[in-house]
């Protein structure tokens, strides 16, 4: 932080507030890392992964809010009390993890190595487990309250796209292929991989990998809707996964897609039985869109179920940003989606941007538009949204071209560039 910025903050009486934000952000980040480090050693050991998964998700979202507050030096009279409550909840998470560690060490030597069942069925250990469940649920209630109170900081909400908001953008399989450019070769290669059964695998998994906004979902859609695919696979299913990889929810969505009606059973075992009666012996294709799960155990649970009800040639097509996810899930080598060539990004932009441009202005607008598209670096999502933005009558294209959004990590991470641009323009 520069001296000039510090003096400015001091003159506004908010230096301490900004430093507190930074300290809280660091604390929350360290706790997210600690949860990850102790996941297998303690959290799964004590069968607390479901509760702690909720904790980690909320801390991750809060971390994003704190990063944005810190970056923009946002001040609010209610921030300090909120930060104090958040720090207390985070310290409680640390104490909770310490309790798990201490109890595990204390109980060592009581049971022979490997006697997990005896260990967990001991009255003392059962009592301790339920005590910890109650404790983490109380912590999650406090974090949930913090999640609600963060909505008081409207500037954060308007200027930053939260992960929880991204999770609401559920995808679907329908696509207008006339609006897709430059993906014919990729589509052909993927279809060939999916319909080639020389390996005689009962269930194969092809991961489509690429950065945010590069067009993974769109590519999966045009493959999903291809006539050759529909002839080869039956049923074909589209499932939007996103941040939370929940086995029960994924099974429910598969059942709903195949039956074309709601899932009328709630337990996982009942869902497995229902799925077996519906697709057993079929050659199916399931698309899992936007997968983030890096827990191999969760993935093995799903594939174990699907292998039991599939026949040779069944496939799963996965879209993900993470190469680690692709390595965990894939039986094929990952299929990498590269950025579009300039001419295709320009077509996407041009189709949307010139609807209100007069012929006299068109030539100068073309030059500015091409400068904008060069900054998109081949991301079709950015080209589409910026084309829509440029198509608005009241928007000056030079503002889009010259905006500092191009230097932000949010844009290059592909997090809905249009929303970030639109919100930043509101404050120019």
Residue 172 domain-assigned (yes or no): no
Residue 324 domain-assigned (yes or no): yes
Question: Quick one: tokens of 215?
Answer: 């067009």
Residue 43 domain-assigned (yes or no): yes
One domain for residues 208 and 322: yes
| Look-up of token digits 């001419």 | 343
Give the pLDDT mean for 24-39: 85
Res. 14: pLDDT tops 80: no
Chain-centre distance for alpha carbon 37? 20
One domain for residues 203 and 130: no
3-state helix, strand, coil in the chain (%, to 5): 65, 10, 30
DSSP 282: B
One domain for residues 138 and 181: no
pLDDT confidence of residue 1 = 39
Instruction: Give the confidence band of 118 by pLDDT, cuts at 50, 70, 90.
Output: very low
- Work out how many domains the chain is built from and give that number: 3
Res. 334: pLDDT tops 70: yes
Helix, coil or strand: residue 413: coil
Burial class of residue 71 in the structure, from the number of CB atoms within 10 Å of its CB (0-12 exposed, 13-18 middle, 19+ buried): middle
Span of 21-25, 96-100, 169-173, 260-264 with lowest mean pLDDT: 21-25
Cα separation, 344 vs 173, in Å, equals 22
Contact predicate 194/219, CB 8 Å: no
| Look-up of token digits 């519906």 | 278
Question: Quick one: tokens of 382?
Answer: 């950015």
One domain for residues 293 and 237: yes
Instruction: Give the confidence band of 224 by pLDDT, cuts at 50, 70, 90.
Output: very high
Question: Of 69-83, 159-173, 253-267, 359-373, which one has max mean pLDDT?
Answer: 253-267
Closest CA to 150 of 63, 270, 220, 234: 63
Contact predicate 107/125, CB 8 Å: yes
One domain for residues 268 and 325: yes
One domain for residues 297 and 389: no
Q: Where are the beta strands (DSSP E) in 24-82?
A: none
Closest CA to 415 of 68, 26, 33, 69: 68
One domain for residues 102 and 120: yes
Any bridge partners for residue 286, and if so which? 237, 316
Domain boundary among 131, 160, 189: 160
Residue 373 phi/psi, 5-degree rounding, is: -65, -35
Give the pLDDT mean for 346-355: 89
Res. 337: pLDDT tops 50: yes
One domain for residues 140 and 96: yes
Each residue of 274-283: pLDDT tens digit?
999 999 889 9
Q: Which strands make up the sheet holding 285-291, listed edge to edge?
A: 236-242, 285-291, 314-320, 203-209, 335-336
Each residue of 373-420: pLDDT tens digit?
988 889 898 888 888 878 876 667 787 777 765 555 444 444 343 444
Question: Quick one: tokens of 198?
Answer: 């020389």
DSSP string, 320-360: ES-HHHHHHH-SSPPEEPPPPPHHHHHHHHHHHH-TT--HH
SS (H, E, C) 220-267: HHHHHCCHHHHHHCECEEEEEEECCCCHHHHHHHHHHHHHCCCCCCCC
Residue 169 domain-assigned (yes or no): no
Res. 172: pLDDT tops 70: yes
Parent domain of 296: 177-336
DSSP 39: I
Contact predicate 224/236, CB 8 Å: yes
Residue 170 domain-assigned (yes or no): no
| Look-up of token digits 């930053």 | 160
Cis bond upstream, residue 366 (ω within 30): no
């Amino acid at each position: 932080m520069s001296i000039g910025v510090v003096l400015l903050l001091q003159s506004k009486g908010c230096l301490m507030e900004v430093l507190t934000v930074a300290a809280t952000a660091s604390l929350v980040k360290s706790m997210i890392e600690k949860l990850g480090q102790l996941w297998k050693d303690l959290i799964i050991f004590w069968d607390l992964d479901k509760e702690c998964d909720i904790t980690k998700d909320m801390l991750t979202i809060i971390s994003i809010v704190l990063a944005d507050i810190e970056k923009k030096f946002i001040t609010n009279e209610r921030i300090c009390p909120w930060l104090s409550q958040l720090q207390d909840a985070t310290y409680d998470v640390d104490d909770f993890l310490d309790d798990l560690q201490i109890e595990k060490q204390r109980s060592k030597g009581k049971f022979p190595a490997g006697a997990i069942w005896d260990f967990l069925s001991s009255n003392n250990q059962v009592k301790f487990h339920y005590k910890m469940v109650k404790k983490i649920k109380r912590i999650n209630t406090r974090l949930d309250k913090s999640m609600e109170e963060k909505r008081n900081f409207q500037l954060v909400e308007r200027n930053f796209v939260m992960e929880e908001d991204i999770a609401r953008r559920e995808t679907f399989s329908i696509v207008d292929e006339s609006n897709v450019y430059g993906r014919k070769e990729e589509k052909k290669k993927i279809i060939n991989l999916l319909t080639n059964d020389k390996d005689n695998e009962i269930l194969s998994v092809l991961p489509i990998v690429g950065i945010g906004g590069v067009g993974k979902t769109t590519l999966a859609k045009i493959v999903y809707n291809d006539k050759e695919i529909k002839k080869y696979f039956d049923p074909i299913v589209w499932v939007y996964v996103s941040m939370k990889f929940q086995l029960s929810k994924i099974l429910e969505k598969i059942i709903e897609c195949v039956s074309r009606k709601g899932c009328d059973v709630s337990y996982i075992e009942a869902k497995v039985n229902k799925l077996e009666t519906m697709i057993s012996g079929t050659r199916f294709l399931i698309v899992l869109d936007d997968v983030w799960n890096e827990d191999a155990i969760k993935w093995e649970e799903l594939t174990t179920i699907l292998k039991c009800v599939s026949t040779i040639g069944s496939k799963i097509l996965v879209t993900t940003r993470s190469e680690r996810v692709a390595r965990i899930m894939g039986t094929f080598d990952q299929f990498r989606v590269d950025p579009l060539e300039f001419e295709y990004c320009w077509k996407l932009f041009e189709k949307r941007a010139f609807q209100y441009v007069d012929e006299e202005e068109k030539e100068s607008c073309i030059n500015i538009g091409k400068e904008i598209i060069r900054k998109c670096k081949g991301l079709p999502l950015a080209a589409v949204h910026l084309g829509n933005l440029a198509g608005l009558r009241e928007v000056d294209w030079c503002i889009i071209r010259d905006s500092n959004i191009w230097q932000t990590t949010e844009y290059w991470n592909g997090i809905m560039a249009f929303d970030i641009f639109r919100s930043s323009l509101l404050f120019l």
